[in-house]
Structures are given as C-alpha cells and as structure tokens.
Amino acid sequence: MTLEYVPGDSLAHRLDPRTKLLVQIGFAAAAYAHTTPRGLAVLTLLAGGSLWAADGDPVDLWGYRFALPVLLAAPLVAGATLGTPWFRVARAETAALASYRVLLLLVVAAAYVRSTPVRDSRAAIHHTVPGRIGAFLGVGVALVFRFLPLLRRDLLAAREAVHVRGGDRLPVHERMRLIAVAGTNRAFGRADRLGTALAARCFAWNPTLPRLAFRRADYPVLALGAGLLATAVATTV
C-alpha cells in the first residue's frame, strides 16, 4: 500500500467524494458507539466491503504497518499492573477492542485514499464548508495527501542510506536518530520548496476545482452513511 490514489473503475471510484466522506464520518461514529464484539463484527463486514468496493485487498493495509505495533501493544500495556494480579484481563479486553476499532477505521481510510483523487477530496471540502475556511481546509487536506507518500519515501530512502553506509551495526537508538534527523531535514526542504512553488504559481483562494455531482449509485451509500451516523447518535443519547 502506497497510501496513494490508484486509478480504477470500481464502485468506490465512481462515488462522489462527499458520499465517501459521509460514510467515513458515520463509520467512525458507529465504531465508537458500538463497542461490543457483535457491533464490531458488523462493522468488520462494512470495512471489508468498503475495501472490496475500492478494488483493494488486505495488502493495501501494509502502508499502515507503523501503527500496527502500537495497536498490538496497547492491550498488553493496559492490562499490565505493578502488583498483583500483575495483569488485568478486563482492561486488556477493553484496550483490544479499542485497537480493533482503530484498525477498522484504517481499513475504511485505505479504501478512501485508494479510490479518491486528491483534487476531488479538496473539492469536496471546499464545496461543503463555505468561505475561506473551506478553502483553507481543502488545501490542508490536499497537502496532507500529497505529502504523506513523499515523506514516507524520504524516510525509507534515509533508512536505506544509513544501511548502505554500515549503519546496521550501530545501536538502534543511533539509527533512529540518524533517520529522524534526515527525514526532518527533507521535510523542511520540501516545505520550503512548496512555499516557493505556491508563490510562483500565484496561489489563489478560488482555484478551478473539478465539478462534483451525485449520481444514482451515491444515494444508497449516502443512506448508509446517514444510517451509521444516526445509530451512533441514538446509542449515545
């Protein structure tokens, strides 16, 4: 998974980005409202269906591998105690369910990123939130989606450079420091070049964005997103 848009003609590719954003919001709300194993089982089917609708597969989740150790360690950390009984199963179960909810959200996010061009995401936010606030949020989302893959490649390149220069013989903390410094320097360099590029291209608050329109396939998916949001609200009220 490269955390990038992959061109295609799947159901998710044909949906309006506003529809997919509503589904994500509704899914996130439902995931935090329905915390029982039965509720998470239903949400698992929905998350798997969203990835399938984007022509994705479990390999696409490899881009989120850096979060997996944290999700796996959370139940162990939550359950551990400094005294008897040394490990509380109830706390570990609660943390495990929370980690699983986050994993489901990552699955839905992977389906969205895979099936939605950056310009469409920017246009969806720009059209949904009025004024310069919407324009500012749209630009922010566009930059995040464009820069995350680049920053990831920079970190991988820095790690490879350290390895080629014999860094694999250094202590782990020293390797982490070298990679972090190199990645930070590249990130600041990219930010400087971005500012120059925006100024050179006369950055405007009213860009020409793609036209968005709901199609027939959007309406049942919109109903799904609204239904998820409604069930979450009904459960928490």
Indicate if the alpha-carbon torsion angle 193, 197, 203, 207 is positive or negative.
negative
- Whether 132 has a pLDDT exceeding 80, the answer reads no
pTM for the model: 0.71
Domain limits of the chain? Answer: 11-116+216-236, 124-200
Mean pLDDT of 77-99: 84
Pick from 55-64, 94-103, 176-185 the range whose average pLDDT is largest: 94-103
- Give the separation between CA 51 and CA 67, rounded to whole angstroms: 19
pLDDT computed for residue 222 by the predictor: 92
pLDDT for residue 143 is more than 70: no
> 227 by DSSP, 3-state: which?
helix
Higher pLDDT, 154 or 120: 120
pLDDT score recorded for residue 163: 80
Residue 155: the pLDDT is: 76
Q: Of residues 94 and 173, which shows the higher confidence score? A: 94
pLDDT at position 3 over 90? no
| Residues 135 and 206 sit within 8 Å (Cβ to Cβ) | yes
**pLDDT score, position 167:** 75
Q: How far apart are CA 24 and CA 46, in angstroms?
A: 11
Higher pLDDT, 130 or 81: 81
pLDDT in tens, 4-56: 788 889 999 999 999 998 999 899 999 888 888 888 899 999 999 999 999 98
Task: Find the DSSP H helices in 34-117.
Answer: 37-53, 68-79, 89-115
pLDDT tens-digit readout, 167-225: 777 787 787 888 888 878 877 777 777 667 666 666 666 666 778 889 999 999 999 99
**In this predicted model, which residue has the larger pLDDT, 119 or 143?**
119
**The predicted structure's pLDDT at residue 50:** 92
The mean pLDDT of the chain is 81
CA-to-CA distance for 113 and 2, rounded, in angstroms? 10
What gap in Å lies between CA 194 and CA 135, rounded to an integer?
17
Residue 76 pLDDT greater than 70, yes or no = yes
Spatial neighbors of 17 by CB under 8 A, at least 6 apart, are 116, 120, 121, 123, 124, 212
Instruction: Note the pLDDT of residue 1.
Output: 47
